Amino acid sequence: MGGNETLDVRLYETGHSWNHIPQPTPAVFVDAWDKDHVKMPCSPRSLYVENKVSVRRWDVIQRVLSQKIDSATAFQIAVNTYNNRYARTWNVDCLSAALRQRPDFVPLLQKIADLALKAPDLVTQPVPLLRQNKERSLSLSQLQIACLLANAFYSTFPRRNATGVNSEYSDFPTINFSSLFCGTGYTDESNVEKIICLLHYFSRVFDKDGPPSGTVTFTRRCLHSPPDFSVSEVLVGSIPFGVSSSCLIEDTQGTALHVSCRLSINAMPIYLSNP
């Protein structure tokens, strides 16, 4: 493959109509437990020690997320069951504060858990990691993205809680949301607002009109010959750029999408890409 070619990976079937949810491909879950893919929560190779016995971690996750989760306390008990190593250091103070502000979001906890458990049926193809200096495009349906975020919400992704410099994913941003829910006293207020925003997103996913039917493509591009900005004569003012308050980012089309790209850059799923 040439240096400027992009490898495209699509996790859903093509040919669907715009108002129908794209079907995942392949039809049956395929696992990849290697350095080039996201290690999935439902992988049979993800193991966990429970009562001194090694068991499939997904079996534990299925058991606890299938139970009633109707409060921040119930949420914490569930998450700690398959993340017991962190039970003494993790808390859900920010999540509790968010739910106190928005008690109408409490029923979402169970719905998010139910969506997370659909991972083997919705995300059936190994999700590639978008690494540095490798051009690649990754296409997912909006429902697949919601499922991945639901698993991040419940901190089910294996090998992603360790953050040390020698940890397996030290070069990648964190994926599980456990740190977002913890109260530290320093970033609590902003984290609470982030959680409310996240819960609002899930409320849209579970809207009465049904789950979203769109698709999203993320592309990593590489500059094989980066420009030397110290000698560049291109003026910043000559580059067309702007922002608009006339529409929502979800409604932008064509050239308007380029105008709004700055607003959407932080929406990139952090578990798919390293800096």
* 46 within 8 A of 58, measured Cβ to Cβ: yes
232-255 per-position pLDDT tens digit:
888 877 877 766 677 666 565 544
Inform me whether the pLDDT recorded for 102 exceeds 90: yes
72-93 per-position pLDDT tens digit:
999 999 999 999 998 888 999 9
24-54 per-position pLDDT tens digit:
999 999 999 999 999 999 999 999 999 899 9
Closest CA to 172 of 34, 36, 270: 270
Residue-level pLDDT at 252: 58
Q: Which residues contact 275 (CB under 8 A, 6 or more apart)?
A: 132, 171, 173
* 158 within 8 A of 82, measured Cβ to Cβ: no
